[in-house]
Structure 1
Amino acid sequence: MADALLARIRATADRWRRCPTCGGWWSRRVLEPCWTCPGCASPFRMSARRRIALLVDAGTFVEHDATLRPGDPLRFTDRVPYPTRYEQARARTGLSEAAVLGTAGIGGTRVALVVLDFDFMGGSMGVVVGEKVARGAEIASAERIPLLTVSASGGGRMQEGVLALQQGAKTAAAIRSLRDAGIPYISVLTDPVLGGVHVSFSSAGDVVIAEDGARAGFAGRRVIEQTSGQQLPPEFQSASFLLRHGHVDSVATRPELPRVLRRLVSYAGTRVAPPTVEPAPAPAMPPCDEDIDPWEAVRRVRATHRPRLRHYLDAMFTDVFELHGDRRSGEDPVVFGGFARLHGEAVVVIGHDRITCGPPEGRNNGMTRPSGYRKATRLMVLAARWGLPVVTLVDTPGAHPGAGSERANQSEAIAETMITVAGLATPVVCAVIGEGGSGGALALSIGDRLLMQQNATYSIISPEGCAAILFSDSAKAPDAARALGLRAVDLRRHGVVDEVVAEPPGGAHTDPARAADLLRHALRRHLDELRARPVRTIVAARARRLRALGRDWCLPGDDVTGPVDREGDRRELVR
């Protein structure tokens, strides 16, 4: 009777779980399928099997290498021998290792999938986990399908010593092979992800999503506090911390995660192809007013009511998925970047998210910090790897000129963006929708086509700055504007701009919807022309385009006759 009572108690207890955050008790039936607390929304720890069932299309998962198991190379013993500890984990979880490898469908797109289970020896990475990640990358490469990893790990498996440590090198090499092959890789971070897993593959996804409630980093919180003697803030290494510091692209709650992955995988499964659908006819183009005074153009483009990036994102694109972070140390909200669809075709959109009225919330009126340019560079590389065209929308008075930006090497960040796009193996179409100010605008206006809205401006310096420096009077800014040739029609005449996109009479602000319609059709037309060409041809033409900039104005000078007195020059320099 006692045994029967104990069995009944165990069976009943197994049907209930206590939330580690709020302490509430919930039945398993209530928690399925997301295993999220109904009281406080905190996620429970989730097994690999349940995680796969939540994320993939029903009935599509096929496991690979399910019986792969580790040896005992060190004959390691702590409180118990390693083989005993392994068998205990195996009996408790029903798994042969901490990683489950397979293929599945997500939103109808086939993916290779590696999911770690924290309940199996803390999700630690030993030789088998490393091998499964490498095999997952090989499956993805062979079938040319995306790789998805879902990580939950305390780090490397100490019982396997340096052999476990070296799995970091093996998995990093596997991810490099995916990058070289142009295979998309999406990484999901759950709670926790530390040490060897995070320094090798989980932090290195093309797109990294942190589940709300996750903590991730190189060293654990306790180790850092004991080593540094500092008390860390509660949000340290949390999902919101990772997003704020540019380490991840997005944070999703567990119920949101399946939908988020379906959207991402739909982009990852997209490749550039020639257009197959005839575009709708372009709207009637109002005549461009070439006689508008340059200073009036400056005033119009700076008007607080002029449509900005967010308007064009809403009006021209669908299914916009924003990505964040430079993966180093920052997230600059001035630079928007992400996936979107233009006339149904997948693109990567990058632009200046400028606010000209109301609280700026760190956007600095569109002046970009180094982390913003580094985010843009990262997303350009991602676009080329995934085979997606890039569209940039430029609207900035210039790069951020603060001391912090200088400490973060603003110049290198801008230069690296330009160097990257110069050889980027995907079509790039740029449009100046507002102010195009100096090097801050230049970094996002290099491509295969440069469009300008009719009242946009593009200049080496602001009229006020030019007037102060060259006219010695900032009040002469209108004269400087006229001298700088900063209007779209002026730049079209010089061959800098490929097309002036008309605005509604009086400016884009008079009819924002029509302004967006005109710009959308112009972008679509140029993208269609480029997408019909081989990528190598596009890159070669871009190189010739960049090489020719300003060359027609390099005029031959008079021949120098007579001997050159170099010794005299040196004496003059010394004097």
Structure 2
Amino acid sequence: MTDMIARDIDADWVLCTGCATPVFGKRLHRNARVCPECRLHLPLTAAERIAHLADDGRYDPLPLEVASNDPLRFVDTVPYAKRLAQARERTGLNEAVVCARARIGGSPVVLAAMDFRFLGGSLGSAVGELITLAAETALAERTPLLIVTASGGARMQEGALSLMQMAKTSAALGELDRAGILTITLVADPTFGGVAASFATLTDVIVAEPGARLGFAGRRVIEQTIRQQLPPEFQTAEFLLDRGFIDMIVERSRLRQELGRLLRAGARTVPGPAAPPAPDVPDPVVRDSRLLPEPDPWRHVRQARDLSRPTTRDYLALVFDDFQELHGDRVSGQCPAIVGGIAWLDSGPAMVIGQQKGHDPAELTRNNFGMPRPAGYRKAARLMRLADKLGLPVVTLVDTPGAYPGADAEEQGQAVAIAENLRLMAFLSVPVVTVVIGEGGSGGALALAVANRVLMFSRSVYSVISPEGCAAIVWKDPAAAPDAARALGLNSRDLLRLGVVDGVIPEPEGGTGADPLRAADSLGAALRHSLHELSGLSRAQLGADRRARFRQFGSSVTVEAELLTMSEEAY
């Protein structure tokens, strides 16, 4: 099959290896080697891959002269030196990876594309060196790095020297992390072994083609070891997406567009978030609790839970542009109760993360009624770390009755996941703005709300516990929920008075669900004002401001005093 790649364009007909349908060779070539019948993504050479991704197919190969030798004088049925010579003659390549500079969607990028034809894309010393040199080029030029993987794993003919390339390439990606440079993996089929267990899965964003397989041990090895038959979809991109290990699956025809969107957000050449322009619309936020009407707390609870209220996904469509969702926590799963990704607010990118409920029983069930599991909080943490690395402001939208209280959530470390988020958010060095758009329940809400500015819609609620839970515990009577709602001070007026929130966004007549467009306009204006206000703080001051904001609850320490101390220490 691999030898067929270069000859498809010359062949009259090509037999698809997936559905066994004959496909006209030139049609298959025009379709970027995706079968028009079964949509199987057939392999591309490294050169074809880079040309397909690069704007106008144009790229400049990096002038890197690296080739494998035979350090062990390895011989099996054929000497390793002979295998190398045959691979070079058959492919026209010096090694199993091609490195280049290009533009994708107008953004510059350094690419390293692996070619499975060359000894199965195996990771030898030369491949590891080329991947590392590409990373070092990206570091020197402060340009994002895109790695296209296709490999059977480490190159056995080079022994432990091949194994060392896993650590070497991983360290190179770590340097890009420290420098705040975006890294992306495009997983092509197959990607296994030492490549999967090093640079392929260490990038900021992992994109995969449909059906691409990714894993450490291959199917045959696993089945022989455990003596069990694995499901057909095992280790495929679809299997991995459901389990939180990759961010997205993208058809080959859309790869340039999707990668270009990611690169555009990560192409910042200066550290720190760009200061948004001064808002030209009035600030809709009420900051004096005396200007808010006396509420009916229990009525507010019911209004906050109204299924007609816009959800996180609704606001992503109405307030932001070009939202690109990222999935998974890279540890244990993909939680639909938390949605997150990169979106644009006016001319700047931001990381937007929010809890997602739904508008009908089916959607609520699918999203676990907006109650995140540990995987959801870990996904949020991963996205916030990425925002911090790239200097993107973080916007969180809170709408949850609380973290999921199931046994499986406890087994997976729910308390630890929430605690880790609280600590992480306290030290982020980018602006963080939180808006409670509906129900803010307990630590499950706070795990997304350790922010520089915390706002809420006027009919939202935010509390240590639900009124029903408080009534059952304190009053010993669930029917006392209205009394508990009043006692808990969970309404916007009381929370603004207490300083728990910094401002309240008035809702349209009838609530946000009655006029979602107007609610979205108010939310957008409030976010712009808050981000503009925070743009004058340095990265160090942003973290200090956030920690001081929460330090003052129950204390005489104020935000102003803490920032003054920070300023004095800077001089």
Structure 1 contact 274–528 (Cα < 8 Å) conserved: no
In structure 1, what is the equivalent of residue 29 of structure 2? 32
Give the deviation of 1:14 after TM superposition. 4.2
AA partner of residue 431 (structure 1):
V
SS in 1 for 2:440: strand
- Match for 1:18 among 15, 18, 21? 15
In structure 2, what is the equivalent of residue 482 of structure 1? 486
In structure 2, what is the equivalent of residue 135 of structure 1? 133
2:353 is the alignment partner of 1:354:
no
Structure 2 contact 109–146 (Cα < 8 Å) conserved: yes
Cα distance in 2, alignment partners of residues 436 and 255 from structure 1: 41
Give the deviation of 1:276 after TM superposition. 5.8
SS in 1 for 2:111: strand
In structure 1, what is the equivalent of residue 327 of structure 2? 324
AA partner of residue 56 (structure 1):
A
Aligned length: 545
In structure 1, what is the equivalent of residue 382 of structure 2? 378
Give the deviation of 1:299 after TM superposition. 1.0
SS in 2 for 1:165: helix
Structure 2 contact 16–22 (Cα < 8 Å) conserved: yes
SS in 1 for 2:159: helix
Cα distance in 2, alignment partners of residues 538 and 365 from structure 1: 33
Structure 2 contact 28–34 (Cα < 8 Å) conserved: yes
2:100 is the alignment partner of 1:102:
yes
Structure 1 contact 288–454 (Cα < 8 Å) conserved: no
Structure 2 contact 319–520 (Cα < 8 Å) conserved: yes
Change (3 A) 1:439 1:356: farther
Cα distance in 2, alignment partners of residues 391 and 405 from structure 1: 25
**Unmatched 5+ stretches in structure 2:** 1-6, 558-571
Cα distance in 1, alignment partners of residues 48 and 27 from structure 2: 15
In structure 2, what is the equivalent of residue 7 of structure 1? none
In structure 2, what is the equivalent of residue 171 of structure 1? 169
In structure 2, what is the equivalent of residue 293 of structure 1? 296
Cα distance in 2, alignment partners of residues 397 and 356 from structure 1: 15
Give the deviation of 1:154 after TM superposition. 0.3
- Match for 1:199 among 197, 217, 228? 197
Structure 2 contact 338–372 (Cα < 8 Å) conserved: yes
Rg larger for: 1
SS in 1 for 2:129: helix
Change (3 A) 1:32 1:343: same
Cα distance in 1, alignment partners of residues 461 and 129 from structure 2: 55
Indicate the larger mover: 164-173 or 355-364.
355-364
In structure 2, what is the equivalent of residue 572 of structure 1? none
In structure 2, what is the equivalent of residue 571 of structure 1? none
Structure 1 contact 273–532 (Cα < 8 Å) conserved: no
In structure 2, what is the equivalent of residue 567 of structure 1? none
Q: Map residues 128-527 of structure 1 onto 2, 5 A cutoff.
A: 128-270=126-268, 272-275=272-275, 277-282=277-282, 289-359=292-362, 360-527=364-531
Structure 1 contact 288–502 (Cα < 8 Å) conserved: no
AA partner of residue 25 (structure 1):
P
Cα distance in 1, alignment partners of residues 248 and 260 from structure 2: 14
Cα distance in 2, alignment partners of residues 191 and 279 from structure 1: 47
Structure 2 contact 138–145 (Cα < 8 Å) conserved: yes
Cα distance in 2, alignment partners of residues 11 and 309 from structure 1: 46
Summarize deviations over 1:146-166 as a string: whole Å, max 9, x none.
000000000001111100011
SS in 2 for 1:327: coil
Give the deviation of 1:204 after TM superposition. 1.2
Change (3 A) 1:430 1:441: same
In structure 1, what is the equivalent of residue 561 of structure 2? none
SS in 2 for 1:551: coil
Give the deviation of 1:494 after TM superposition. 0.7
Change (3 A) 1:57 1:94: same
Give the deviation of 1:289 after TM superposition. 4.7
Change (3 A) 1:392 1:80: same
SS in 2 for 1:339: strand
Percent identity, aligned pairs only?
Answer: 49
AA partner of residue 103 (structure 1):
R
Cα distance in 1, alignment partners of residues 57 and 481 from structure 2: 68
Cα distance in 2, alignment partners of residues 498 and 382 from structure 1: 26
Structure 1 contact 66–100 (Cα < 8 Å) conserved: no
Structure 2 contact 318–520 (Cα < 8 Å) conserved: yes
Change (3 A) 1:32 1:334: same
Give the deviation of 1:475 after TM superposition. 0.5
Change (3 A) 1:288 1:95: farther
Cα distance in 2, alignment partners of residues 98 and 255 from structure 1: 24
Cα distance in 1, alignment partners of residues 184 and 293 from structure 2: 48
Structure 1 contact 101–114 (Cα < 8 Å) conserved: yes
Summarize deviations over 1:244-296 as a string: whole Å, max 9, x none.
00000000111111111111111111364443644331387899652220011
AA partner of residue 128 (structure 1):
A
SS in 2 for 1:100: strand
Cα distance in 1, alignment partners of residues 262 and 421 from structure 2: 24
AA partner of residue 23 (structure 2):
W
- Match for 2:46 among 32, 45, 48? 48
AA partner of residue 309 (structure 2):
R
Summarize deviations over 1:105-160 as a string: whole Å, max 9, x none.
11121111100000110000100110011111111111111000000000001111
Structure 1 contact 453–501 (Cα < 8 Å) conserved: yes
**TM-score by structure 2 length?**
0.92
Structure 2 contact 285–503 (Cα < 8 Å) conserved: no
Give the deviation of 1:331 after TM superposition. 0.3
AA partner of residue 405 (structure 1):
A
Structure 2 contact 450–546 (Cα < 8 Å) conserved: no
SS in 2 for 1:509: coil
Cα distance in 2, alignment partners of residues 353 and 12 from structure 1: 47
**TM-score by structure 1 length?**
0.92
AA partner of residue 281 (structure 2):
P
Give the deviation of 1:437 after TM superposition. 0.3
Cα distance in 2, alignment partners of residues 234 and 12 from structure 1: 31
Cα distance in 1, alignment partners of residues 285 and 240 from structure 2: 46
Cα distance in 2, alignment partners of residues 202 and 262 from structure 1: 19
Structure 2 contact 64–130 (Cα < 8 Å) conserved: no
In structure 2, what is the equivalent of residue 569 of structure 1? none
SS in 2 for 1:130: helix
Structure 1 contact 124–156 (Cα < 8 Å) conserved: yes
Summarize deviations over 1:12-51 as a string: whole Å, max 9, x none.
9745422100112223321224111112111111100000
Cα distance in 2, alignment partners of residues 22 and 60 from structure 1: 33
Change (3 A) 1:273 1:331: closer
Give the deviation of 1:532 after TM superposition. 3.0
Cα distance in 1, alignment partners of residues 365 and 49 from structure 2: 37
Give the deviation of 1:550 after TM superposition. 2.4
2:534 is the alignment partner of 1:536:
no
Indicate the larger mover: 245-254 or 28-37.
28-37
Summarize deviations over 1:337-382 as a string: whole Å, max 9, x none.
1010112320000000112522134312111100000000000000
Cα distance in 2, alignment partners of residues 363 and 110 from structure 1: 37
Summarize deviations over 1:510-538 as a string: whole Å, max 9, x none.
21110111111001110112123211111
Once superposed, what is the RMSD of the aligned Cα atoms? 1.9
AA partner of residue 342 (structure 2):
F
